[in-house]
Chains A and B, each alone.
Chain A
Amino acid sequence: MKSLMKRLITTWTRLGSAGGIAAIFCLLVVLIALLAPFLAPLDPDRQDLAARLLPPFSGDHIFGTDSLGRDILSRLIVGTRASLVVAFTAVSISLVIGVGIGLVSGYFGGKLDAVLMRFVDAFLAFPFLLLAITIIAILGPGTRNIIIALIVSEWVVYVRLVRGETLSLREREFIMSARMLGVSKPAIMIKHILPNIYGPILVVSTLELGIVIVTEASLSFLGLGGNASTATWGAMLADGRSHLSTAWWLATLPGLAIFLVVLAVNMLGDALRDYTDPRMKGYRRGGEIPTTEIAEPSPPMELPPVESSIR
């Protein structure tokens, strides 16, 4: 127990105060998502057409009501769960796919790598949102299909990252000697290479989480959110857009929620990066790219794509 406390304290100091605050905020958001049904003060689905578009602090409605008279605060709380479920699932599945392909591509190299990389390039060159829109059109609406659309566009990020790391690791001595000792290729990849790239993967995943949250919101914003009965931040924001001049709170509040969560996730990602590997500045999608020294092992074209939140 004591050692746990000690570890927590060291973690805190190493994360820095900003990272610590961000971590606590993220924890809070996860708690809200888990406990959403109990935290929502009112039924988020209950409509009252006679009490629509009420401004904040009207009676029970602390954040006011939306265009169907539903309580905005309750919908924001419930929407936290929907947004996080989508984001976590999409990121973890693309992670698994991307790591697998990236390891193989980077380790074996050659023709296989060349072919895989062209596919990765093609997916990168395909305007992401358009890909997502088309996929949702094909598969139909629904949370599951939104997750699939996000995965289709996300997996390449991890392929790029893991491949680049693998390329530089496979020439290192300890891998060479493992190979000499006759360790099987899968074993080398999983037991020797993978553990050495946990850090970058963790950091990138954290940062991708923020991007995925924004992307999901963008899709809902474009009217492709899927299930209209579930509250999501993006759908709330889209609903509020046409009421901007008459009811500003409709669009502003869910937007603020997205912003704060993504901000916290990014801060946490930054702090984690410094924590795990101060040199690991390169794999920030939408963030920094390697300075030339670090770029040495992997030339510029291996860099992960920079897309940030412009989606």
Chain B
Amino acid sequence: MFILITGLLLGGTYALIALGLNLQYGVARIMNLANGEMLVAGGFAAFWVYTAGQVNPIAALVIIAPLAFAVNWLLYRIMLVPLVRRAKNRGALEVDSILATFGLSFVFVGLMTWVFGGGYFNYRFLATPVDIFGSSYAQNRVVAFILAVLIGGALWLWLSYTRAGLKLRAVAVNPSSAPLVGIDVTATSALAFALGGAVTAAGGTLVSMFFTLDASVGVLFTMKALIIVIMGGVGDIRGTIVAAVLLGIAETAVARLIDPGLTLAAAYLLFLLVLLFRPQGLFGKAQG
């Protein structure tokens, strides 16, 4: 029971991060390998405002998320649109975007190490225990989970019931047909990319409440988010959430029962099973 709930709490935050990546890859067709660095940047920003100005990280989200939105929008407009334009097919775009976002991720890590130094960052926020079903859990984890659910839920409602959300889903299904019904694919992709970045940075702020970050830890989160997106299926919100919770529980179980140093190995085991048996994602349909 303890493992299940801890895993669920962790999985909620993972789901939010993976949703961000899924928007970027599923709609904007950019495999963003700098995603984890955006998360760390969100966490560092929260750390900075908390220690410098005693600003509550939850309140800081109001600034961090729009800022991340703006940064990612500019990144897409300036750096990624030229790649989308020159790509002859989806494969070429994938190779280019992978290399470009690798470059970005190293630049981010380099800049963050430069500004913040190579040390570890954490702060104490809501580090009091709460009781659920007889076991106690850190309050910050519970709060992070609730916020992740709220943000993720709002995102889902927006995607499902608004006109803008419908546009995003149309581009996700088929970017070459979307212009036929009057959708500006570039603008919609930029919106999706920026939104994905904002969601990821918000996830980073939540993670920083209970997790010690350093400038180079981003790639680990990128890796986990990628595994979740592939496991859940690209563009599939329900699958992403289920996969994130599965990963959270699997990691917690391995860390508790075998060794805390093996969490990535646990993620890889899940990844391997998905690749072998369901490469189209948990709920995806097999393609011909």
Tell whether A and B belong to one assembly.
Answer: no
Residues of chain A touching chain B, judged by Cβ–Cβ distance below 8 Å, are: none
